[in-house]
Amino acid sequence: MGASSRQDGALSKLECFIRFEHVSYWLSRTRELITNAETYAYPAFRESLRELRREARKSEMELVIALFRFERAMNEAIAESKS
């Protein structure tokens, strides 16, 4: 495997970990909101939940994209090692 492929794979892996942490962050914020739901008026709770879910979905999509990039880098590394 060439140095470039190793570097691409390492960067892709790092991006996956970072994106995974973003997903975890937004899910933990959602958990906190639910835990403290009784301290909110319903309209404020609903708006906060919508915003948190929007951010969580965005971060989940970014994780999926990072996972596809990681998979591609792994496949390229395998193809290079076979040639």
In the three-class reduction of DSSP (H, G, I as helix; E, B as strand; rest coil), residue 83 is classed as coil
| Structural domains of the chain, count | 1
Structural domain containing residue 31 = 3-82
pLDDT digits (tens, 9 = 90+) for 49-73: 999 999 999 999 999 999 999 999 8
Return the structure tokens found at 33: 């909101």
- Looking at residue 35, its amino acid is T
What residue spans of the chain are helical by DSSP H?
3-35, 42-82
Q: 81 pLDDT exceeds 90?
A: no
Q: How far apart (Å, rounded) are the C-alpha atoms in residues 13 and 3? A: 15
In the three-class reduction of DSSP (H, G, I as helix; E, B as strand; rest coil), residue 2 is classed as coil
Q: How far apart (Å, rounded) are the C-alpha atoms in residues 33 and 45? A: 8
pLDDT digits (tens, 9 = 90+) for 18-55: 999 999 999 999 999 999 999 999 999 999 999 999 99
